Structure 1
Amino acid sequence: MGDTVNSINNQIEKFKERELDLSCYDEAKLKEMLLDIGYYRLGFYCYYYFDKKANKFSKDIKISDIINLYYLDIDLKYLLLKYINRIEINFRTKLIYYVSMKYKENSRWYVDDTIMDAESIKVFKDNIYNDKFKQDNLTLKKHHINYPEDEYAPCWKVFEYLTFGTILTIFGNIKDQSVKQIISEKYGIKDLDKFFKLLHTVRLIRNICAHSGVLFDYSLPQSVSSIPQINYNKGDRNSLDTSIKVIGFFIETISSNRYIDFQDDIKNFFDKRKKDPVLSQVITDRIKYLD
């Protein structure tokens, strides 16, 4: 939408020039929403309804359609994050437990170059486990005050403060494939490469949800691995619906009751919004949710 700062009045005029129907809101409400959401951020959702060649919005599209799409995206991110957090905690716990059980005398195995890739340890030391990291996280701060001779704290203390991406990186850089295989099989997957790709899918969606990315039309850069436990709609293995099914797969391996909750939440979420014909088309064409 250009590099020039536009006043709220100019933003509204630009919508009018591009033939967007603003009649569903009075001017005060429209200004309130633009100051709340932001003209630039709303642009991420405008483009779906915008004809670039004609330089105007699609016929019969209203500003309320764009606002509704924005809130569909926001609400879906909140919903998925709730379940992704459960997956993240579960995987972190399994990683700590099964690797620590293998190396019972070494609670700091994550920085042991006989266990981990040496280059990954250097990156971890330089970029993550620094003085700021130890000071910013209370448990680690207390540990290093109480045990000043310790260069590192035990993994079960440290891993609580690591991002999901860092946790996956640590998992991937363990030299012993057999311990990674044990964890993979706890989720019912024998193929370690497929397991890692499924986890990476969860990570990608998690990052979009947590960092205000646009979710509704997200397409995975690589097709998700095919496994018998997941029935992808029409064989599509890149759509957002595919990612949702991957999240559901992990939830089901964690708790059958939570999986029922997940299925109900997803179905109710989309069924409610499908009553709006404009959103219904987005759900079918972009998200590719068909259930």
Structure 2
Amino acid sequence: MRVFGKPVIDITAQIELLKQRGLQIQDEARARYFLQAVSFFRLTPYMRTFQHADDQDHPFRKGSEFRELTTLYEFDRRLRLLAMDAIERVEVAVRSLISNHMGPTHGGHWYMEVRLFQHTYDHARLMETIRTKQNTAKRDYEKECQRIDRLQTDTRRKDHLKRQRAKESYARHYPVTYDQPSLMPGWAMLEELTLGDLSHLYKGLARDADKKAIAKYLALPAPLLQSWLHTLTTIRNICAHHARLWNRELGIRPELPKKTSFQWPQALLQQGQHPRIFSVLCILKHLMHQVSPHTHWDRRLLELMQEFPSLNQRAMGFPQEWHQDPFWQITE
């Protein structure tokens, strides 16, 4: 262990440091604006691809330019937005699929029945999560009612405002309107969960028949859907925190199809490790075509890749001519 002793340096000094390390900066004014908007620290992971490895002085390879660094950063930003667009739609669809199966099969408040979950699933935590959300929403509503009561207006207007406020969220509306059962129905409960919560809930379902029925709508076996939801939770968190995505090695690696009968890129059917983001993009492509058959998401991915032709696609796990694989079937 060492004592931290790195000095704080301003943007002028940051630019000088980059130049000392061999980075070519054609437009220092533009570089200054960029570093004001995007911190030096945030750019550091993107610098590594242009630097000599294993050199503590972090020198840049000869000919490296600041605009290459900003171009890579811009690509990664847009890749995150594209991934988040797909993850959002997949997440909404999975909520709907779970609700549309579990509700009609097991009743409106199915999630309150512990028998429907594996013994390893933290059912009490789920109950507490929903109870807390309802209680918080109800307290917020009561505070708003107190504020409304202080308004200089007639009782009829106050009652109208209170009714409107009560409808602003179901977590607020339910405890204000109903007292039995104590918690909201399943279709509303699912909207209160994070993607991580949703992933754990699906994994925790006790009946294989339920898991299979839900996964079938996405043309998947249940183990694949369970694994993919786990991985997508990690990817969503990376994107939500604006972290580097483009050449990241996956910490949570998804299970991949092994059967040749499953429509899947040939490169990913081969044995070996597939730890890069390409496998996740293939997952999103498959899921997007299940939840939105007429989507052009895959076309947008291709256009993004073509817009940055100098990008190192191998660092992302892309095979050569990836878009010509029958899996993608990208058409105009």
Q: Which residue of 2 aligns with 1:69?
A: 72
Q: Which has the larger Rg?
A: 2
Following superposition, the deviation at residue 272 of structure 1 comes to 1.3
Counterpart of 1:208 (choices 238, 244, 248) is 238
RMSD: 2.3
SS at 1:58's partner residue?
coil
CA contact (8 A) 2:91 2:195 kept: yes
> What is the CA distance between 1:287 and its match in structure 2?
4.4
Q: Separation in 2 of the partners of 1:48 and 1:243?
A: 22
User: What's 2:149 paired with?
Assistant: none
8 A Cα contact 1:233 1:242, kept in partner: no
Cα distance between partner residues in 2 of 1:71 and 1:283: 15
* 1:240-251 superposed matches below 5 A: 240-251=277-288
Aligned with 2:275 (options 227, 238, 242): 238
1:140 aligns with 2:171: yes
| 1:4-30 CA distance string (max 9 Å, x none) | 32211121121122111112x2x3222
Q: Which residue of 1 aligns with 2:257?
A: 226
State which of 188, 193, 203 in structure 1 corresponds to 2:223: 193
Distance in 2 of aligned mates of 1:120 and 1:193: 20
Distance between the aligned counterparts of 1:205 and 1:273, measured in 2?
22
Match for residue 85 of structure 1?
Answer: 88
- Return closer, same or farther for 1:223/1:164 CA change in 2, 3 Å cut-off: closer
- What does the per-residue CA deviation read over 1:236-262, in whole Å, with 9 as the maximum and x for residues that have no partner? 63221111011001112223211xx02
Amino acid at match of 1:36: A
- TM-score, reference length from structure 2: 0.77
Report the CA distance between 1:183 and its aligned residue: 0.9
User: Which 5+ residue runs of structure 1 have no aligned equivalent?
Assistant: none
Question: Where do 1:11-160 residues align within 5 Å?
Answer: 11-23=14-26, 25=27, 27-54=28-55, 55=57, 56-104=59-107, 107-117=108-118, 119-127=121-129, 129-130=131-132, 131-132=135-136, 138-160=169-191
Which SS does the other structure have where 2:15 is aligned?
A: helix
Give how far 1:124 is off. Answer: 2.0
1:32-56: CA deviation from partner (whole Å, max 9, x where unpaired):
1101011110112111212244420
Greater displacement, 166-175 / 196-205: 196-205
SS of alignment partner, residue 275 of structure 2: coil
TM superposition shift of 1:271: 0.9
Asked if structure 2 preserves the Cα contact closer than 8 Å seen for 1:21 and 1:63, the reply is yes
Q: How many corresponding residue pairs?
A: 279
Distance 1:225 1:10 in 2: 47
Quote the residue 1:273 is aligned against: 308
Quickly say closer, same or farther: Cα 1:44–1:132, change in 2 above 3 A: farther
Q: With structure 1 as the length reference, what TM-score do the two structures score?
A: 0.87
Residues 223 and 155 of structure 1, relative CA distance in 2, 3 Å threshold: closer
Q: CA deviation at 1:134?
A: 6.1
Checking the alignment, whether the CA contact within 8 Å between 1:73 and 1:216 is kept in structure 2 is yes
User: What is the deviation of 1:289?
Assistant: 5.2
Hey, what's the Cα distance between the residues in 2 that align with 1:201 and 1:17?
Answer: 40
Residue type matched to 1:256 in 2?
P
What is the CA distance between 1:150 and its match in structure 2?
Answer: 4.2
